[in-house]
Structure 1
Amino acid sequence: MSELLIVSQDADYYLMLSHILEEAGYTTVLIDVPSEAVPAAVERDAAAIIVDCQPGSQILADIASALKQRGPASEILLIALVAEKTAYLDILKANVDESFTRPMRPQRLLSYLNSVIGVSPDKMPGRLMFDDMRLDAGGRRVLVRGEPVNLSPIEFRLLSALMDNAGRVLSRAELISIAWPQKAFVEPRTVDVHIGRLRRALKRALGRDVIRTVPKAGYAIDIA
């Protein structure tokens, strides 16, 4: 069974969450000293660190920084459970793999975990594009000619959405609903910024621009 570390200083919340997760087949461990989260995850070969994020807390940023120091080879997912009034910018800066706004439906978290945990990346079919670019959904990575392309979680989800709908124009509203947490306030201009970063990253790797801008409509990616 996949092990999940839950970083929280609220024992009641941990007990409730752990019961839900364990009923779904996961094992959980409470981490009440945040600085121990990453070392414990590495030692126990945990699949994910789930952080109970409270307003004004530095815990998520510290854990994200510790994971980043492990380099791109780290396969430990970082998931934020965001309490009301927590600054969304703090979550964005932490580059989490996924975030959920509390109160949340447990099924949303379970659906996400079931889709990304316990599946070996080398057994995932992935999706091929342009013959030399591959999006590995299970491993949450993009490879161009076998070399990884460094993308943020939001940029990865944007690319995944565009590839899932290759040739079709996706509006900014559609991209926001796919790539950002539910209930997050995102301006259309923010989509443009992230698409711009994604476009530059892919152009550096592929040597050509593969994202098409459709004025007043949105963006598309075309299989050549």
Structure 2
Amino acid sequence: MPVTQLQVLLVEDEPAQREVLAYNLEAEGYAVRRAENGEEAMLMIAEAPPDLIILDWMMPLMSGIEVCRQVKSRSETRGIPVIMLSARSEEVDAVRGLDTGADDYVIKPYNLRELMARVRTQLRRAHPSASGEVLKFGDISLDAQSHRVTRAGAELKLGPTEYRLLVTLLEKPGRVFSRDQLLDHVWGRDIYVDTRTVDVHIARLRKVLTAQGGDDPIRTVRGTGYALG
């Protein structure tokens, strides 16, 4: 089973633009969820945080600026990259959008190829394994292209679930992941798995990582979840 498909939440109230952009995102291999307004977007984010948000500024019920402000003010969602789309081309508007926490600001009408490149850039920063980079933490190294994992130079044999768990933890060292977040990242948002399953696979991952006598790099945060380091 491959690493879970990256999820993009597209928030755009204009149907034609929404569908054209969704088509191009899906052609790039992303799973796309659509929202027509800011309030619907906030409900979808609370239900299942996406890997990236593409957000129109001018929308009914709740503006893109307010959605961005709320996303970036919450610890559980502030790490999600946000690309703001706007017909407002004044420099002061771009500054306001970025000051609210947007990671990028794109002026309408935009070039689709350029926008797709910006999407790839933001997802690469948030999920370096998606671009085949080598992830490292201490003496642990994971080559996302070859799926080879080593510790202190010795190759480790991980099952597919333990591999995906390690990828998730290595991408955000120090970040505490709840069991539900790990379920979303590793098993996928549409698959029901009991949270106790996470504990079982974390134990298996720990066993492999410490088989050669190294310290356990995974920290248990009581009542919350797990973190690397």
Bigger radius of gyration, 1 or 2?
Answer: 2
